[in-house]
Amino acid sequence: MPSSTERLNLTITTTSGDLQAQVDVPTNLIPITNIVPVIRSLGDQAQDLEIANTLQTGKTISCQKGCAACCRQMIPISPPEAFALVEAIHTLPQEHQDRIKENLAQTHLRLQMAGLLPALQDLANSPRQQTDEDLDSLNRAYYALRLPCIFLENEICSIYAHRPAACRGHLVSSPAELCQDMVNNPIQELHIPIRAATILSLLWADLTGGPVRLMPLPIACEWANRHQDLNTPTWNGLELMQKAMDGLGKFLQQSFAAMAHKKTGD
């Protein structure tokens, strides 16, 4: 069936201000992966709003091509992004796929040796809703290993156009050299008005009745390959977008509540 789209003009009040966004949404029956670039686009446009706010204060964005300090963090991936990532990998030249496969095997070995692999796999497969407390110690232990992302080549992302939503939000206004130790240095990260990975996870939970799942990147591809049967259903694109917007509304409500709490110090 030929694909058709409808352009939506959206006005969204975010914690970085009012966002006037445009997204092209498929109107026919689509798999969950087809909504991923739409939500990422929304996140990118919201991030542009925050970047503009930052530049207006006289600050600059330190992140540049080849600066890959943030590519050694534990990147959270939503289930829809995991499926989309596997699809994107399959479109790459075979030698590139082979390099990614080897990088993934080496990363799994390092994680196994560090005793982190079982805990990370549990994050991807547990039926229980994970909390920030569950993730904090794992985030720190993962970062301490300084593992380069499986897609990193010569300190440059080799799948930049397909990079996960969480990667797109890693921007700082502090000096780039401070990012070599983001635990102990005073890093000034830009606020993320819309976390697309979280929105996609909320959408997945709504569609499947499961927990809001965010998986560590090295485990996500493995999970997606093992659960390809979950990537076969299709939904009307506009209805899928509406569900995603419902999740965005929940996310923004929590964001504004957290901001109010921070201001009052309660």
Q: What is the tens place of the pLDDT at every residue in 172-202?
A: 988 888 888 888 888 899 899 999 999 999 9
Banded model confidence at residue 67, pLDDT cuts 50, 70, 90: confident
Q: What is the CA radius of gyration of the chain?
A: 19
Tell me the average pLDDT across 241-248.
96
**Mean pLDDT of the 20-42 span:** 95
The residue among 186, 149, 130 whose CA lies nearest residue 68 is: 149
Q: How much is the pLDDT for 79?
A: 96
Phi, psi of 236 (to 5 degrees): -65, 130
Q: pLDDT band for position 68 (50/70/90)?
A: confident
* Range of weakest confidence among 24-38, 55-69, 224-238: 55-69
Q: Would residue 35 count as lying in a domain?
A: yes
Q: How many whole angstroms separate alpha carbon 266 and alpha carbon 263?
A: 8
Whether 101 has a pLDDT exceeding 90, the answer reads: yes
Distances (CA, A) of 70 to 73, 103, 183: 6, 17, 12
Residue 266's pLDDT band, with cuts at 50, 70 and 90, is low
Can you name the residues that pair with 12 across neighbouring β-strands? 19
pLDDT at 77: 93
Tokens of 266: 């309660």
Report d(CA 59, CA 55) in Å as an integer: 5
Residue 242 lies in a domain: yes
Long-range pairs, 246-255, Cβ under 8 A, ≥24 = 246/206, 247/198, 247/199, 247/202, 247/203, 247/206, 248/12, 248/42, 248/194, 248/199, 250/202, 251/194, 251/195, 251/198, 251/199, 251/202, 252/12, 252/13, 252/14, 252/15, 252/194, 255/14, 255/15, 255/193
Q: Which domain holds residue 165?
A: 5-261
CA distance 147 to 159: 17
Q: How many domains does the chain divide into?
A: 1
Residue 231 lies in a domain: yes
In this prediction, what percent of the chain has a pLDDT beyond 90?
Answer: 72
**Phi, psi dihedrals of residue 128, rounded to the nearest 5°:** -90, 140
Domain contains 266: no
Say if CB 153 and CB 71 are below 8 A apart.
no
pLDDT over threshold 80, residue 95: yes
Mean per-residue pLDDT of the chain: 91
pLDDT class of 70 with cuts at 50, 70, 90: confident
Is 62:173 a contact under the CB 8 Å cutoff? yes
Per-residue model confidence (pLDDT) at position 136: 84
| Residue 210, in any domain of the structure | yes
Residue 58 placed within a domain: yes
Residue-level pLDDT at 3: 67
Q: Is the pLDDT of residue 92 over 90?
A: yes
Q: Is residue 76 part of a domain?
A: yes
Q: In the chain, what percentage of residues exceed pLDDT 70?
A: 98
Which residues face 7 on adjacent strands? 24
pLDDT given at position 183: 81
Q: Mind listing the pLDDT tens digit for each residue in 202-214?
A: 999 999 998 888 8
* Predicted confidence (pLDDT) at residue 47 exceeds the cutoff of 80: yes
Contacts of 27 (CB under 8 A, 6+ apart): 4, 5, 6, 236, 237, 238
* pLDDT per position as a tens digit, 124-178: 888 877 777 778 888 899 999 999 999 999 999 999 999 999 998 888 988 888 8
